[in-house]
Structure 1
Amino acid sequence: MRQSEWTVASFGSCADFQEGYVNPAQSVTAYFDGPISWLRAVDLNDGFVNETSRTLSVEGFKSAGKAATLFPAGTLAISKSGTIGRIGILQREMCGNRAVINVRPRPDRLDVRFAFYSMLLGRPQIERLAEGSVQKNLYVSALSKFSLFLPPLPEQRAIGATLGALDDKIELNRKMNATLEAMARALFRDWFVDFGPTRAKAEGRAPYLSPELWPLFPDRLDAEGKPEGWKIGTLGAVATARNEGVDPSAISPDTPYIGLEHMPRGSIALSDWEGAGKVSSNKAAFVAGDFLFGKLRPYFHKVGIAPVTGICSTDIVVVRPKSPAWGGFVIACISDEDFVAYTDKTSTGTKMPRTSWGVMAMYPVALPSSTLAGAFNATISPMLDRIRANIHESRTLAQTRDLLLPRLMSGELRVAEAERLAEVAL
């Protein structure tokens, strides 16, 4: 494909735009936590949008009246205020709030994925289109002026498919990690919260674990309602916090740095970090395999396993098991919804409530035998290892995509050559 066959076009000549206008009153609790995904700028992650951080009831959706619109899967979305230019491809039907513009490329002019990558590459231009002196806003009238460098549609589709293959694999890894994490969480709650195996034994039900694991569980519950022989203790009995401060001027700028902004909510698969070159204040040290817990109330559900060695914000508690055999128990415990609720309830402070390791360590737990804790660790360790491997693979895939992106979108690199380079990464 010759560059002479590429043309320059405005976004508005190739796509249709619609802002989200579903903004239910926050004071009406009945409007929320229903079946309808409610897209906000915070949900846009420069990739696929599978779910939203908040949902609406049918009543909440209809509160928008005639403006209540559901955008189908495949719609592009871009944030128009706050952090302008964050984009996403909706993977399911969603409605949007006023901070989001939804984009529908016209199929006879513009391929959806090519449009997505054009927006990703052209973010600096999009940011410059925002207007306002106090708070910048990206209006539809301005976004429609965004310039696209377009090859013919077949070439658009080929470019979108080549880059998309890398993102599809990244998305597959994300879904696999979510499944593995859900399996580990379910095991933890069954064994150590609901006491499923012990209850099954006490009720005379058939074993549902392997012959090696089943005998490790007590046969009955004691008078306190916990498995017989287990002790009531605290998290601090099996875990500790690492408190090692680091002066950023004394480390390499390439040292991985993790802040609260890098940690996903509700997932231990911590896949984002940056170099420490821009860090100026003292931070905390951690090593690969440590557990990181965001200690500010808005970030309590940000818990992850460090996939690399580096430094982190002092608003993150670095947790590690006192014995490796307890590692699985500790990470499953501090990422469990009951523990998050405990830290929320016991947090202190008015402007920005927070927890501390001293409070976290006092969390009451039913402690099994060390043998059973070790068996649980051995059971979920392959899952956690797979999660970490997927994280590193996805970062390599993303680096390959980012390398190919500008060269493909400018016509400098032919699709066939890009496909060969992508296949190496895949």
Structure 2
Amino acid sequence: MSADLRALWRAAGGNVPDHWTFQTIEELLESQKSISVGVMYPGSNVLGGTPLIRVSDVKNGAIAKKPDFCISSEVDQEYRRTKLFGSELLITLVGNPGDCVIVTEEMIGWNAARALAVLKLKDPDLRRWLRYVLLSKPAKHLIDARLNTTVQKTLNLKDIRELGIPIPPKEERYKITNVIDAIENKMLLNTQTNQTLESIAQAIFKSWFVDFEPVKAKMAVLESGGSGEQAELAAMSVISGKSEAELAQLQQQNPEHYQQLTETATLFPSAMVESELGEIPEGWEVQNYSNLCKKIESGGTPKRNEDSYWNGEVSWLSSGEVRDKVVINTKEKITIEGLKNSSAKLWPKNTTVIAMYGATAGEACLLAEEMCANQACCGLIPKTEFASFVYLSAIRSSQLLAEKASGSAQQNLNKGIIENHSLIAPPSNLAKQFEWTIQNMILKLIENYRENINLAQLRDSLLPKLLSGEIDLTHLQSEVA
């Protein structure tokens, strides 16, 4: 059996040292029943319920944050077989079949959705090794050859059981996994940092443009008989998250920052007025995206049967890739000729893209580089001062936009629906101040995305060399206990 598995691995383009053995994943399981799919019928989202890991929660082989979707205790009990205890390995069955997640202590008590297989291994220490092997090109080739593509690419449990895995001696295995771990840990840290940055940016957006907290802070002071100066100070406290005592200290220690807070607070009015969307700050307006953008366009696709239009230098975004909040690179690229001879348009960086069709309808992303997109994407090229406002408002409006989608076969939006979507917009001077306030967060966000792409490329280039024994690891100190 081991010889047959080695032959299959070589046929898939892989090569491993002769002293390594091969075993099927089934042979590595704790028992025959130690692999199963997750929750098939999760029901509706239950506040405070059991977190449910879905394929969309898997990013670069990890779960960067606690899942938003939760199942009831009754559903969790019904699917207790896949309730997580901290020693399992998860393998995605759809989306990106074969991607793995190592279950950590933080995930104990969670459950997994049906699009994930839950595995319990005889030796939980093998999880890291198994994950990295499944990332390799030979493994991906073997997985792709087994995929059922009737509706979408799907891996089933039988195929997982039969996959052959090269197994080196423990000391070699630990050395190899430690090299890749260092790269993966940095990628996970970047992802978690980006989750925090996104949360902070959205929190500021919500405070300023949804809850109108600086405006209401001013109004509360004035209604209680306070002075205009006290009202400005109250707004500064809301904007900065600092108490009046801390603001006084800031004025002494960093007068420039204090002055910037003062100028920002001054831009907020101290009254609310009625509008078609309810009460809004005085001087603000109910707008739509067409008012805040220089141009709004849908994308296009060059002819697939024209070879000269494809595999060029121009990044070409598909609606499925809009799931990534920031896009730096794309799976497919077209040529300049393909761009010129199709309805695709080249959009500048800082364009917000909203997906119009299918499962991602309503979702939004930010372009970190200039690129074009297919016809299932709508590009919002913002006025400079509204770049971050348009991006964050689009992310916040994704559910509302998705609810406007229609279609019997799949949910569809169109450019008209998007450009006429109503929202409450501040004057341009406050939008400029918001842009200045969060621009460093957005830049850091993009930097981390870019670094993760480079780290993933480094990992993927090292993996075949490590698996083939091409890289000599004898100089590395063994960490085997």
Please classify the TM superposition score into its range, dividing by the shorter chain length: 0.7 to 0.9
Deviations 1:294-335 (A, max 9, x none): 0126323421111222221111000011x2111121112211
State the match for 1:327 in structure 2: 387
Distance 1:111 1:276, change over 3 A: same
- The correspondence of residues 127-276 of structure 1 with structure 2, limited to 5 A, is 127-128=144-145, 140=157, 142-204=159-221, 206=234, 207-208=236-237, 209=239, 210-224=261-275, 225-239=279-293, 240-242=295-297, 247=302, 249-250=308-309, 253-264=312-323, 268-270=325-327, 273-276=330-333
Give, in angstroms, the shift of residue 346 of structure 1.
Answer: 3.1
1:62 pairs with 2:121: no
Does the aligned pair in 2 maintain the 1:292–1:304 contact within 8 Å?
yes
Number of corresponding residues: 407
Instruction: Select which of 390, 414, 429 maps to 1:356.
Output: 414
Give, in angstroms, the shift of residue 68 of structure 1.
Answer: 3.6
Instruction: Select which of 105, 118, 124 maps to 1:102.
Output: 118
Task: Determine which structure has the larger helix proportion and give its number.
Answer: 2
Instruction: Select which of 9, 26, 31 maps to 1:12.
Output: 26
Q: What secondary structure sits across from 1:232 in the alignment?
A: strand
Identity %: 21
Q: Which amino acid aligns with 1:411?
A: G
Q: What secondary structure sits across from 1:390 in the alignment?
A: helix
Give, in angstroms, the shift of residue 47 of structure 1.
Answer: 0.7
Deviations 1:37-59 (A, max 9, x none): 33445555551134557431111
Q: What secondary structure sits across from 2:85 in the alignment?
A: coil
Superposed CA RMSD in Å reads 3.3
Distance 1:38 1:366, change over 3 A: closer
Q: Which amino acid aligns with 2:72?
A: S
Does the aligned pair in 2 maintain the 1:34–1:58 contact within 8 Å?
no
Does the aligned pair in 1 maintain the 2:57–2:63 contact within 8 Å?
yes
Instruction: Select which of 47, 52, 66 maps to 1:38.
Output: 52
Q: Which amino acid aligns with 1:276?
A: K
Task: Say which is worse superposed, 142-151 or 269-278, in terms of deviation.
Answer: 269-278
State the match for 2:134 in structure 1: 119
Distance 1:47 1:82, change over 3 A: closer
Q: Which amino acid aligns with 1:270?
A: V
Task: Say which is worse superposed, 202-211 or 285-294, in terms of deviation.
Answer: 202-211
Does the aligned pair in 2 maintain the 1:348–1:354 contact within 8 Å?
yes
Q: What secondary structure sits across from 2:313 in the alignment?
A: coil
1:285 pairs with 2:285: no
Q: Which amino acid aligns with 1:260?
A: S
Does the aligned pair in 2 maintain the 1:24–1:63 contact within 8 Å?
no
Distance 1:200 1:136, change over 3 A: closer
1:307 pairs with 2:365: no
Distance 1:214 1:62, change over 3 A: same
Give, in angstroms, the shift of residue 136 of structure 1.
Answer: 8.7
Instruction: Select which of 84, 103, 106 maps to 1:90.
Output: 103
Instruction: Select which of 436, 443, 446 maps to 1:378.
Output: 436
Give, in angstroms, the shift of residue 80 of structure 1.
Answer: 4.3
Q: TM-score, normalization: structure 2?
A: 0.75
Distance 1:315 1:365 in 2: 23
Distance 1:308 1:413 in 2: 35
Q: What secondary structure sits across from 1:354 in the alignment?
A: coil
Give, in angstroms, the shift of residue 171 of structure 1.
Answer: 1.3
Distance 1:88 1:257, change over 3 A: farther
Give, in angstroms, the shift of residue 356 of structure 1.
Answer: 2.4
Q: Structure 2: 5+ residue runs without aligned partners?
A: 1-15, 222-230, 240-260
Q: Which amino acid aligns with 1:107?
A: D
Q: Structure 1: 5+ residue runs without aligned partners?
A: 420-426
